[in-house]
Amino acid sequence: MQPYHPFFSQLALAHPIIQAPMAGVGTPRLAAAVSNAGALGSLGIGASTAAQARAMIEETRALTDRPINVNVFCHAPARRDAALESAWLAHLAPLFDEAGATLPAALDEIYRTFNDDEESFRMLLALRPDVVSFHFGLPSSERLAALRAAGIRTMATATNLQEALLIEAAGIDAIVAQGIEAGGHRGMFNPDLLDERLSMAVLVRLLVKRTGLPVIAAGGIMDGAGIKAALDLGAAGAQLGTAFILSPESMANDAYRANLQSERAATTALTAAVSGRPARGIVNRLIAHGASGAPAAYPVAYDAAKQLHAVAAKAGNHEFAAHWAGQGAPLARAMPAAQLVQTLVRELHADST
């Protein structure tokens, strides 16, 4: 076995590879298949209730006795603003018309931040997944101490040096360095601040040089050559999301899979117009419609997008879906997750690819 960073060897992982948590796309079967193949499988429970998350963790545990990662969202609660929300609905009204859908009268905060969710916190303390990771910010120091006292290792996403230094100061065990290439939501702590939009390569170098923590590279990594490049930059490991979407174990529906395997996968965009926070997905009618002014707060804006998509999808129209994918999307391969992990490892160790 390679002398990987202690973060990976202490978890007894055979490979320095993490399947990214993907709320709404990942499944217990996907996480278990990845963990059984010697990498770290993840469950994204950011949009789930405590009861749903518990069921997902228990289902995963029934399929693997290998370590797993459970990921939560630590965003600031939505600042509700009735005027902004009705302006946002008015902006989306033509799309609801186009889809033959009724414009909602009001929007909801469709899921809570982990930082206000005592039940999910207690559930994690009781079930003790090997790793818990944080996106969009950090939990309180009290909660962090309790998770660590329960023997749970922790990771958190950083998109810049400032966030990485906060993660290090909080006593987290590893930093996920999420570059601008990444699919899905940017884990930035405060979306109102200027986004430097650092590439994975620059961010990894910065964090390797300026923090003492293991750095996990994320964003646009699709194959063993990409993982090798990240390790050469000093990363301790790599976290891949988009690469796993086409696995049969993912929840992606046929339309998502077809889109990801089409020419359209080469055109992704980062937009806050779907959920209220910047996220990267394959450009479709909804993303092209964009935003006029600020969207409603996250995840309130997401409620509108999900309602629009639900009605349109029933009529076979998937132009309003959130097909999150990173810039490496055209390189995604459709293969079972265990086979993908084996392929990534083979490519990582090949002399040239």
Ligand X SMILES: Cc1cc2nc3c(=O)[nH]c(=O)nc-3n(C[C@H](O)[C@H](O)[C@H](O)COP(=O)(O)O)c2cc1C
Residues near ligand X (CB under 6 A) are: 20-23, 25, 44, 46, 71, 135, 157, 178, 181-184, 187, 218-221, 239-243, 324-326, 328
328's tokens: 């490496």
**Cβ-closest residue to ligand X?**
241
Minimum CB distance to ligand X smaller for 96 or for 324 = 324
CA distance 269 to 266: 10
CA distance 180 to 336: 27
CA–CA distance from 232 to each of 17, 150, 215, 237, 253 (Å)? 14, 34, 12, 10, 35
Least separation, in Å, of the C-beta of 106 and ligand X? 26
- How many C-beta atoms surround the C-beta of residue 146 within 10 A? 16
Q: Tell me the CA end-to-end span of the chain in Å, nearest whole number.
A: 21
Minimum CB distance to ligand X smaller for 15 or for 135 = 135
Least separation, in Å, of the C-beta of 44 and ligand X? 3
Bridge partners (DSSP) of residue 157 are 176
Minimum CB distance to ligand X smaller for 71 or for 115 = 71
Is residue 209 within 8 Å of 193, Cβ to Cβ?
no
- Give the DSSP H or E segment for 343: helix 337-349
Least separation, in Å, of the C-beta of 45 and ligand X? 8
Minimum CB distance to ligand X smaller for 73 or for 88 = 73
Sheet with 131-135, edge to edge strand ranges: 17-19, 237-240, 215-218, 174-178, 153-158, 131-135, 68-73, 41-44
Minimum CB distance to ligand X smaller for 37 or for 132 = 132
Least separation, in Å, of the C-beta of 204 and ligand X? 13
Minimum CB distance to ligand X smaller for 143 or for 185 = 185
Least separation, in Å, of the C-beta of 328 and ligand X? 5
Least separation, in Å, of the C-beta of 199 and ligand X? 12
